[in-house]
Amino acid sequence: MPWLAISLEMEPAPAEALSEALIEAGAESVALEPAGERMRVDVLAAEGADAGALLAAAARAAALPLPEYRTERLADDDWVRRAQAQFGPIRIAPTLWIVPSWHEPPDPDAHAVRLDPGLAFGTGSHPSTRLVLRYLAARIRGGESVLDYGCGSGILAVAAGLLGAGELAATDVDPLALETTAANAARNGVAVRLAAPDRLPPEAFDLVLANILAGPLVALEPQLAARARRDGRIVLSGILESQADEVMSAYARDFDVAVHATDEGWALVGGTRR
């Protein structure tokens, strides 16, 4: 099927904030690529989408002015060629790589998440995703039960499974994200239980992961806290450094929280359930 391709250029920090908001506003896929000192944002939307309305909604959510943009009609095969040209293996940590299907794993001794860019957020290239993946590579000891809340492509659940986690569950409000997660889990030989948020069984986990946006994370605190076992851990990303205090304040009622790491203006907030 054909797609509507939208492209624009912005400063790096606003571009990253807008990319997250575009996914929340209904974009099918968003990719970032350096363009000199600026960042190129390539957006894929359904053919009949209103580019102006989509960007306006995302800009409002990210508290940014509406940027200038260009549009074009893109066929499926053009999208595939662009994706293959843009995405190569990504080294997350000494023990973890993200590798698209058209490349061989660079390090046979490391874990390789086989994942192609597609119509759900999460390729490993965005700083917010890298932060969580690095956390998992450093902290997974083996056997942990893990919930990936807002799973997108399923990259976090799949990586946790490859690194040795035990029971894996993933949830997302978008049915396409659940389908994509199921496909990526199968490709990597990882078993993940999938359900919409309102159909999750009433259980708690050793580790709860949520790479979303600061506003939704604040609103989701009661639901996410209920999913973390006492002394379990929560890992939150999709948060600009300037938003970290607001998120920590919301989660301090149930967790001992702190900023664990930062990357290109983004922060990872983690905590232990009291």
Q: What is the pLDDT of residues 67-83, one digit of tens each?
A: 999 998 877 655 555 55
When computed from its CA atoms, the radius of gyration of the chain, rounded to whole angstroms, is 18
- Please indicate, yes or no, if residue 98 is contained in any of the structural domains: no
- CA torsion 164→167→173→176, rounded to 10°? 60
Q: pTM of the entire structure?
A: 0.76
Alpha helices in 26-120 (DSSP H): 51-61, 76-86
pLDDT at 198: 94
Per-residue pLDDT of the chain (274 residues; tens, 9 = 90+): 678 889 999 988 888 788 888 888 888 777 777 777 788 888 888 888 999 999 999 999 988 999 999 998 877 655 555 555 566 788 999 999 999 887 899 999 999 999 876 544 566 778 889 999 999 999 999 999 999 999 988 999 999 999 999 999 999 988 888 999 999 999 999 999 999 999 999 999 999 999 988 889 999 999 999 999 999 999 999 898 999 999 999 999 999 999 999 998 889 999 999 9
Q: Cα–Cα distance between 102 and 115 in angstroms, integer?
A: 10
Helix axes 12-25, 51-61, angle to 10 degrees: 110
Pairing state of beta strands 205-211 and 228-240? parallel
Q: Cα–Cα distance between 269 and 258 in angstroms, integer?
A: 6
Which is nearest to 155 in space by CA: 223, 107, 87, 108? 87
Q: What CATH number is attached to the domain comprising 219? A: 3.40.50.150
pLDDT at 76: 61
- Say if residue 128 is in the same domain as residue 253: yes
- Please indicate, yes or no, if residue 110 is contained in any of the structural domains: no
- Please indicate, yes or no, if residue 168 is contained in any of the structural domains: yes
pLDDT at 168: 98
- Say if residue 191 is in the same domain as residue 264: yes
Q: What CATH number is attached to the domain comprising 32? A: 3.30.70.980
- Say if residue 145 is in the same domain as residue 23: no
For 10, the domain range is: 3-85
- Please indicate, yes or no, if residue 237 is contained in any of the structural domains: yes
- Say if residue 194 is in the same domain as residue 265: yes
- Please indicate, yes or no, if residue 109 is contained in any of the structural domains: no
pLDDT at 38: 84
State how many domains the chain has: 2
- Say if residue 70 is in the same domain as residue 154: no
